[in-house]
């Protein structure tokens, strides 16, 4: 049978000044060798100029998967800075029937405007969205309310939630 040996043959034929090493392959274990009448013959996927004439299916699928993965990864380039959420520092001033909530950036201490403050208590709820230039709001609550849940949210910040006792 043809091509049964596994000896290496070195070819001095040079394409683009590169030396190519050809290896004889056992045709029963190689995907580009096909059985023909009367024996085996090796298909060469390259032409005389060294260019691929046939693209193996596994190579095409691998390239397609790699391109898809690359396009997905490119969406996340430099997003770590944008995806990083900051912490809020929420401060309170209380008096009977009133709760003042002040919102600051926990890292810089600067006032944070545009936050939404939600105050809930047994029997009701109030919410207010601060203007961009304001970082505080005073809620007027029923006189019988002694404990409220406060939630503060703002884009780019982790939500803040806690309980406040009114005195």
Strands 88-95 and 116-121 turn out to be unpaired
116 and 155 share one domain:
yes
How far, in Å, CA of 25 to CA of 38, rounded?
18
pLDDT tens digit sequence for 97-115: 899 999 999 999 999 999 9
Q: Are 29 and 88 contained in the same domain? A: no
Q: What is the pTM of this model?
A: 0.52
pLDDT value for 117 = 96
Q: Is 29 helix (H, G, I), strand (E, B) or coil?
A: helix
Per the structure, how many domains does the chain have? 2
Residue 133 and residue 152 in contact, taking contact as beta carbons nearer than 8 Å = no
Q: Does residue 64 sit within a domain?
A: no
Give the CATH number for residue 117: 2.60.40.10
């Amino acid at each position: 049978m043809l091509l049964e040996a596994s000896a290496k043959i070195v070819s001095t034929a040079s394409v683009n000044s590169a030396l190519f090493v050809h290896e004889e392959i056992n045709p029963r274990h190689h995907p580009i060798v096909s059985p023909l009448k009367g024996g085996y013959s090796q298909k060469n996927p390259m032409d005389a100029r060294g260019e691929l004439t046939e693209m193996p299916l596994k190579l095409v699928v691998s390239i397609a998967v790699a391109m898809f993965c690359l396009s997905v990864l490119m969406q996340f380039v430099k997003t770590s800075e944008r995806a990083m959420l900051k912490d809020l520092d929420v401060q309170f001033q209380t008096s009977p029937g009133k709760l003042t909530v002040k919102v600051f950036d926990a890292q810089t201490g600067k006032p944070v405007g545009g936050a939404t403050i939600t105050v809930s208590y047994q029997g009701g709820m109030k919410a207010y969205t601060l203007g961009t230039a304001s970082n505080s709001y005073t809620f007027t609550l029923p006189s019988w309310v002694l404990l409220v849940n406060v939630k503060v949210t703002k884009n780019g910040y982790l939500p803040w939630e806690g309980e406040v006792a009114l005195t």
